[in-house]
Amino acid sequence: MPETTQTTETLIAVSKPCHATRWLAATLACLILLVIGAATMVSMYEQFKAQVTHLQAKLKSVPQIKFVAVLLDEKQLPAQLVTFDPLDGYLQIQRLNDLKEGPEDSMQLWALDESGRPLSLGVVTPKLKTSQMRVSEKILTQAKGLAVSVENKGGVEPDRAPRLPYLLTGALIQKAQ
């Protein structure tokens, strides 16, 4: 009889389902899912970083206008659009009408402070529809308006006042940040 008992116990032990294998399989499946999830997360993070870098580069290439002025002629019609991009430090001057300098004349751009005192920004490039002029942002921050005068070829000498009346005038507006 002892042999029968032993055989019965062996049969019972063999016929019992082994839960350890199921838990091992479930654990391995969860680990595989975690690895796949982590790899996906790292991939998405790298894609996000690449997109941010691309958008930052794109943003740098787009002009960021900080100051804008529309200069009006004597009939109060727009004659020039002036914008300033602080990233490159240039005023962009776009002619909006067909006003041209004479052969012996130059158009000179002036920054006007609160009391109307002029500070020369330079001579506007003749015969170009759009031109650029390097200007200090500090000067524009202190200016309340811009004006254009007609001067002898080459512009006014330093420390000299412009010829009046101004040909074009307009308020200089600083955009909100």
What is the number of structural domains in the chain? 2
Based on the domain organization, do 165 and 80 belong to the same domain? yes
Based on the domain organization, do 95 and 113 belong to the same domain? yes
Range of the domain at 165: 67-174
Based on the domain organization, do 113 and 159 belong to the same domain? yes
pLDDT at 98: 85
Question: DSSP per residue over the chain, as a string?
Answer: -HHHHHHHHHHHHHHS--HHHHHHHHHHHHHHHHHHHHHHHHHHHHHHHHHHHHHHHHHHHS----EEEEEE-TTS-EEEEEEEETTTTEEEEEE-S-----TTEEEEEEEE-TT--EEEEEEPPTT-SEEEEE--HHHHHH-SEEEEEEEETT-PPTT-PPPSS-SEEEEEEEPP-
Question: pLDDT tens across 112-160, in order?
Answer: 999 889 999 999 988 889 999 999 999 999 999 999 999 888 888 877 8
pLDDT at 155: 86
Based on the domain organization, do 151 and 71 belong to the same domain? yes
The enclosing domain of 71 has a CATH number of 2.60.40
Domain final residue pick, 61, 79, 94? 61
Confidence of residue 4 (pLDDT cuts 50, 70, 90): low
Question: pLDDT tens across 50-88, in order?
Answer: 999 998 888 777 778 899 999 999 999 999 999 998 888
Is pTM beyond 0.85? Reply is no
Confidence of residue 44 (pLDDT cuts 50, 70, 90): very high
Based on the domain organization, do 101 and 154 belong to the same domain? yes
Question: pLDDT tens across 12-22, in order?
Answer: 555 556 778 88
Domain final residue pick, 39, 61, 83? 61
